[in-house]
Structure 1
Amino acid sequence: MKANCWMGRTTVEVRDVPDPKILNSRDAIIRITASAICGSDLHLYNGYVPTMKKGDILGHEFMGEVVELGPEVRNLKIGDRVVVPFPISCGRCASCRAGLYSVCENSNPNAGMAEKLMGHSPCGIFGYSHMLGGYPGGQAQYARVPFADVGPVKVDDDLSDEQALFLSDILPTGWMGAEMCDIKPGDTIAVWGAGPVGQFAMAAAFLMGAERVIAVDRFPYRLKRAERAGAETLDYEEVDVLEALRDMTAGRGPDACIDAVGMEAHHPVAVMHAYDRARQATRMETERPHALREAIMSCRNGGVVSVIGVYGGLLDKFPMGALMNRSLTLRAGQCHVQRYMEPLMGRIRNGDIDPTMVISHRMRLEDAPEGFAMFRDKQDDCNKIVLRP
């Protein structure tokens, strides 16, 4: 089969690789009909996530048709259309039973690698480094899905691939980011990062009762998308964000702040950006946490900072004093996708949210290398790319 493979920093290639096989009685083989390039894939592409190996198959947002099943998978049948959540979760450990699927205790065969960096291991993730399991991803013609009796959700014919695809990651992630804010009617929510995850977090915040949503970004096409969705916008290259948010909230700050950026944030002050770039390049820290620092400093006293942007390890100059002395609550997590898939599918059917709103480009799998470069460089107002094998 053909698959998009990581070949080194800023290099991916579509190559011929062996077809996946059933390895466990709870496996399924999926013929992929749609996958996507995620913003967190760019962290791999840019070389900031360790333990990638040449030839690793990328992609953690995908869906398709079941073509083979292990004998213990009884909730699916051959021919079912399914969307696959990016966390690989056993469904039986203490974490899974508590609904904390992204910290499954059994799905990462390389847990020891993650423990050295994180203390304990999160779950395995499709196409996202050997530290997180070394599982082949879904930017391919076929994929093996472990624990298929827990993860994949059937998609009926009333929903298109493009309506269902983002249930695999970014729609639940944006939703969880807003949910962690404990939004009350009338709240003001600020969102750093107006890319696809940020756009879904904004939509979720409005649905949860926020009166105002403020998007912080620097790309005009992203800010225009946020405006069309009802958000106010700040271009952080044009204004001092902390001062602007104080002005917009009568000095209090937003009730909650969502970091939908993660480890590769930019900063308009050249010295600050260069500081973190240099430390990141020399592996003295793994992040450029400008957005996180700013979200903490901007949030009102007693407010919530919700972190759904991907971070990989260690960061510098973390404003712990602000967090502690101002009674802020910090919440974070890779999304527990399985928890949200069925409820959000219902909201899609009801017309509460249209996941296709984030799509800007549709490409063939063979064009994935061009897609990665386009997405990284924000060419042609690239917001979200759907790949078709």
Structure 2
Amino acid sequence: MEAVVFDGSKLSLSYQKNYPIPTIINDDDVIVKVHYSGICGTDLHIIQGEFPAIKSHPIALGHESSGVIHAVGKNSIFKVGQKVVIDPNKSCNLCDFCRNGDYQYCRTAGINSTIGIWQDGGWAQYVRAPQIQVFALPDGITTEQAGLCEPYSCVSHGFNRAAPLKVGQKILILGAGIIGNLWITTLHHHGHREVTVSEMNPTRLDIVKRMETGFRLVTPDVLAKEAKENVTYDVIIDCTGVGKVMELSFHYLKEGGKYVLFGCCPPTHTATINPFDIYNKELTVIGVKINPFSFPSAISWLKAMGSRYLDYHKLGVKTYRLSEYESALEDLKKGSVAKAMFKISED
């Protein structure tokens, strides 16, 4: 089969001879014929050596995938032809974290066993997954829309971590890549209107305009100028994945404010913040790690949001063939698209 494979240092396109179609190993396995599989910012960090991933042998990356069931093990609850989405993360079900429902902290599972990071993922025509990590899509959700389910599941977890987010609060979103855009759609869908979006790339600001939310769009220099005039926010959601951004923007919080550190920074990034400000203003810093048990919520969001919010063009999502992976990565790095998505099959 065709697959975009990472060998620990570089990507390459592999074909049937070197990368055969996966087969059922366990009785509860399923094989998914992949329709859509996204390129995440974490994937860029992996390719650049800034985020841990398997290096013992080559794998197909891709932890955001949707498609249809191609084959099933004898104990599977799924049927061939069902539309599904894959949750790349799971619990070990043995450690205290997992047994308390917090598998994002698990030291053996969670992000340490992710499909598409530690085992073959969706940048391929077919992928094998345990059925416990597969969710059937209800009527009304396309596999194209479901290509966004994994990142929305992470936003759902972040939304819950930051709760309550009260309508009327002043919210600042930093970064208008795809994660910023998914937060924009989420907040608008939930009734928020006092939202400012900061992005330095004018192309990405133009993409945000397509969503017609009416949110205020600014560049970072505007925020810096307004900070001198004591313009502050109740909630800041950092979607940049850049440590320095947190350092610069942390003092934009008003008293009692929340800073949601959502963008995945490389482990080497640092930020200096003032502990006295945290004490004096009673500030809250919220980290968000993957998507524990939030796929059902994300699927419900997709169904409720529909084409009003999930249109690829409005979100700045561009599709590519697997053979176009170099162009996809280049466009993503340049910021000419908010997200690159592999469109592998739709039949």
Q: Residue 72 of structure 1: CA displacement?
A: 4.4
Q: Contact 2:32/2:128 (CA < 8 Å) preserved in 1?
A: yes
- Residue pairs, 1:138-157, within 5 angstroms: 138-146=122-130, 148-149=131-132, 151-157=133-139
Q: Would the alpha carbon gap of residues 223 and 97 (structure 1) be closer, same or farther in structure 2, given more than 3 Å must change?
A: farther
Q: 1:312 to 1:28 in 2, by over 3 A?
A: farther
Deviation at 1:137, TM superposition (A): 1.6
For 1:15, the aligned partner's letter is: S
Identity of aligned residues (%): 23
CA distance in 2, matches of 1:197, 1:100: 22
Task: Give the structure 2 partner of residue 180 of structure 1.
Answer: 161
- 1: distance between equivalents of 2:104 and 2:26? 21
Mapped partners of 1:65, 1:91: distance in 2: 27
Q: 1:346 to 1:327 in 2, by over 3 A?
A: same
Mapped partners of 1:324, 1:56: distance in 2: 46
The answer for the alignment partner of 1:365 in structure 2 is: 322
Aligned residue for 1:87, secondary structure, equals coil
Q: Tell me the SS of whatever aligns to 2:289.
A: coil
* Unaligned stretches of 5+ residues in structure 2: none
| One-letter amino acid of the structure 2 residue matched with residue 12 of structure 1 | L
Specify which of 219, 226, 230 is matched with residue 235 of structure 1.
219
Aligned pair count reads 333
The amino acid across from 1:303 in the alignment is G
Change in 2 beyond 3 A, CA 1:223/1:246: farther
Q: Specify the code of the residue in structure 1 equivalent to 2:116.
A: G
State the match for 1:44 in structure 2.
46
Find the residue that maps to 2:144 and give its secondary structure.
helix
Cα distance in 1 between the residues matched to 2:51 and 2:28: 29
Partner of 1:116: none
Match of 1:294 among 239, 242, 248: 248
Letter matched to residue 13 of structure 2:
V
Deviations 1:12-55 (A, max 9, x none): 22112133233444432211121121222111222212455373
Partner of 1:65: 68
Q: Structure 1 CA distance, aligned partners of 2:290 and 2:186? A: 14
Q: TM-score normalised to the size of structure 1? A: 0.76
Match of 1:283 in 2: none
Residue 55 of structure 1 aligns with which residue?
Answer: 58
Please point out which of 2, 11, 34 is paired with 1:32: 34
In structure 1, the residue matched to 2:80 is 78
Query: Does 2:336 align with 1:384?
Result: no
The reply on whether 1:201 has 2:183 as its aligned counterpart is yes
TM (norm. structure 2) is: 0.85
CA 1:102/1:68 → structure 2, altered by over 3 Å: closer, same or farther?
Answer: farther
CA distance in 2: counterparts of 1:21 and 1:6, whole angstroms: 20
Secondary structure at the residue paired with 2:192?
A: coil
Q: Which has the higher contact order (CA 8 A, sep 6+)?
A: 2
Aligned to 1:103: 105
Q: C-alpha deviations, 1:160-202, integer Å up to 9, x for none?
A: 22112111x2222234334433211210111111111111112
Query: Where does structure 1 lack aligned partners over 5 or more consecutive residues?
Result: 109-121, 129-133, 266-288
Which amino acid in structure 2 is aligned with residue 171 of structure 1?
Answer: Y
Aligned to 1:346: 300
